[in-house]
Structure 1
């Protein structure tokens, strides 16, 4: 019976494994997220990265498609949990990840923050503490610098947990 299985790929070979498995007429799913990257010239661009590095989901029937042929596919290291009796993933898990990935694509852009902007935590254990925005760090996360117990700390936080302080 067809089901979803988790495939562990060789480092940075998720796309290669996905392409080679697709050429075998197998359905794959590689969840991606967008993040901002700064080039050496200072230009900011958007790059897509795997949500789960080195992993992708594969929908197949082990009684029809040989597990050995999947393990021999370029880019694939192994099927996770592949022993005598393979355990498939729950379909609802893959559907939930797909749904969440679509929601992330549709989310409105946050108010743009610039390095050096003063911000305040509006959520979490540091609520009401002030900090300085440093840079975006991937999708919906950023780096801030704040003083805590007499020391300056750099912290990776969700961008939604801070707000700009109007000076």
Structure 2
């Protein structure tokens, strides 16, 4: 029976494994999210797509019809997680939840607020107070600079709890 499984890939080889599995007819899913990357040429950083789970790829296949050893020998792939004696399939509900969260986390939403922008809290203990957006991380949270008692403090908050002014 066809099910979803978790494939551990070689470092930074998720896309190669995905492409090579597609050539073999194996369906796969690699959740990608936008992430701010800094470099010498771009000190402010640029928005790039990065895997939500580095080194991991979700694959959908039937182990009775497609050889597990073919997947393990695919370029970029390392091994199926939990594949010792009995393979452990991943719940369809869990995968649907991941897909929904990744779709919510679009570049337009994170790109709407950039470093140095003034933001206000729309919920939580700091509701209706202002801060300065510093950066977002890859897990739907962000860092803001907040003035507390005359000092500027860096705090980590849920990105859904702020909006741009």
For the residue of structure 1 that corresponds to 2:154, the secondary structure is strand
Say if 1:154 and 1:45 are closer, same or farther in 2 by CA, change over 3 A.
same
Work out whether 1:70 is the aligned partner of 2:79.
Answer: no
The structural deviation recorded for 1:41 is: 3.6
Q: Which residue of 2 aligns with 1:97?
A: 98
Change (3 A) 1:72 1:137: same
> How many corresponding residue pairs?
164
* CA displacement at 1:141 relative to structure 2: 4.1
Q: Is 1:30–1:56's contact at 8 Å kept on the other side of the alignment?
A: yes
Determine the C-alpha separation between the residues in 1 that align with 2:100 and 2:115. Answer: 32
SS in structure 2 of the partner of residue 131 of structure 1: strand
What is the Cα deviation at residue 52 of structure 1? 1.5
Aligned to 1:123: 123
Aligned-residue RMSD, C-alpha: 3.1
SS in 1 for 2:95: helix
Secondary structure class of the residue paired with 2:48: strand
Assess, with a 3 A threshold, how the Cα gap between structure 1 residues 113 and 51 changes in structure 2: closer, same or farther: closer
Q: For residues 63 and 157 of structure 1, what CA distance do their matches in structure 2 show?
A: 46
TM-aligned CA deviation for residue 145 of structure 1: 1.9
TM-score (norm: length of structure 2) = 0.77
Question: Shift of the alpha carbon at 1:57?
Answer: 0.8
Distance 1:21 1:36, change over 3 A: same
Unaligned runs of at least 5 residues, structure 2: none
Shift of 1:157: 2.7
Q: TM-score, normalised by structure 1?
A: 0.76
Aligned ranges for residues 11-22 of structure 1 at < 5 Å? 11-22=11-22
